[in-house]
Amino acid sequence: MAPAMLTGFFPLCVCLLLTPGFAGAGKLLVVPMDGSHWFTMRSVVEKLSQKGHEMVLVIPEVSWHLSNSSNVIVKTYHTAYSLEDLNVAFRKFSDFQWKVRPQSLLPMLISSANTVFDYFFSRCKSLFEDKKLVQYLEEGSFDAVFLDPFDMCGLIIAKYLSLPSVIFTRGVFCHYFEEGTQSPLALSYVPRAFLEFSDAMTFEQRVWNLIRHLEERLFCHYFYKNVEEIASEILQTPITTSELFSQASVWLLRNDFVLDYPRPVMPNVVFIGGINCQESNQKPLLEENAFRGFVCISSSFSEIILYKCMYLIGEQDCWLPRVKSEVTHRGVEICKAIWILYLPLTEREL
């Protein structure tokens, strides 16, 4: 009798084991970055909220674009600087980028115009000085931290709360992406930032690529020195920038190999470059009464690329009486998935 009962229960057990579990919404702690970083992240947060996830947004009281949302719980904390201080520091930094064309990361890392980064990095210290907010985070029973790593605060919070973290970014400074993801550093065919090389480098160019990488190794530590001091004070243990990036569970890169050079990455790196484009409204590309014009799309240091596009197009083609152009730096809401006509730019011209 017993063997017969076991035989009867066996198919039932198999069915129960193969049955998928009930899907449930989670509770996410969102630590965003201000500015244009927030535009894309906001759309993801709103979409997750519509799916039934509970989203808790932690933002500073002083910001450019971060604001309350009807579908998201928002927690704010005081900062040691005012909005005017932030604007002045950012103008100083942007003026430096206009006047000095960067040939490497070094001028930006050691520039005296980096006060704006000090303001960004100080946010986390201000957050942890708010004891009520820290207690709320400790008792929040969050499932994960959804963060932008630009100001490093999300990584510090994830480490403090011992929570898995999901990084949402276009990229990070220096060599910390390769170290954080434990991806191979392909210096032979992936140029470092600001180098005007292609993925088919000569031996001399590869040597220069290695030298730039060594510069990052030497000077990036000083750029993130304040972050490491703040993180070590909060966590009550010495910690490095590499260790903060290494704890990330998943990397969501708003990038793809169309805009960047192919490189080896680890399985926890997911490319979501298409998220930067909104769905097309199926309007015709050219109306019957439309005038000829142009659209110049660039990434990273747009002022340099836009200037070169204007120069290469030429004054006679560019400054037609009926052509109206608007050069602006906004979020991804202006990006549409349409056909792109590339200018015939050579490597030397770029």
Q: 10-residue block means of pLDDT along the chain (350 residues)?
A: 50 47 74 88 90 93 81 91 89 76 64 80 94 95 95 95 95 88 89 83 93 87 90 95 94 83 89 76 52 51 46 44 39 42 45
Domain boundary among 250, 276, 302: 276
Q: Are residues 103 and 192 in the same domain?
A: yes
One domain, residues 270 and 283: no
Q: Does residue 1 sit within a domain?
A: no
41 shares its domain with 89: yes
The answer to the question of residue 13 being in a domain is no
Same domain, 138 and 246: yes
- The predicted pLDDT at position 103 comes to 61
Residue 16 lies in a domain: no
What is the distance between the alpha carbons of residues 16 and 183, in angstroms, rounded to a whole number?
A: 39
Q: 77 with 198, same domain?
A: yes
Instruction: Pick the last residue of a domain from 276, 307, 327.
Output: 276
Identify residue 55 by its one-letter amino acid code.
Answer: M
User: Do 195 and 67 lie in a common domain?
Assistant: yes
Please identify, among 253, 276, 299, the residue that sits at the C-terminal boundary of a domain: 276
CB-based contact 60:66 (threshold 8 Å): yes
Whole-number pLDDT of residue 6: 46
Residues 340 and 224 placed together within one structural domain of the fold: no
What is the spatial distance between Cα 48 and Cα 39, in angstroms, rounded to a whole number? Answer: 15
Report the pLDDT value the prediction gives residue 168, as an integer from 0 to 100: 95
User: Do 113 and 70 have their domain in common?
Assistant: yes
Rounded Cα–Cα distance for residues 149 and 147 (Å): 6
Domain of 350, in residue numbers: 278-350
Write down the pLDDT at residue 307. Answer: 46
Total tally of structural domains belonging to the chain: 2
Same domain, yes or no, for 45 and 159? yes
Alpha-carbon dihedral of residues 230, 108, 42, 156, nearest 10 degrees?
A: -20
Sequence-separated (6 or more) residues with CB below 8 Å from residue 177: 171, 183, 245, 251
Does residue 6 fall inside a structural domain? no
| pLDDT of the residue at 293 | 53
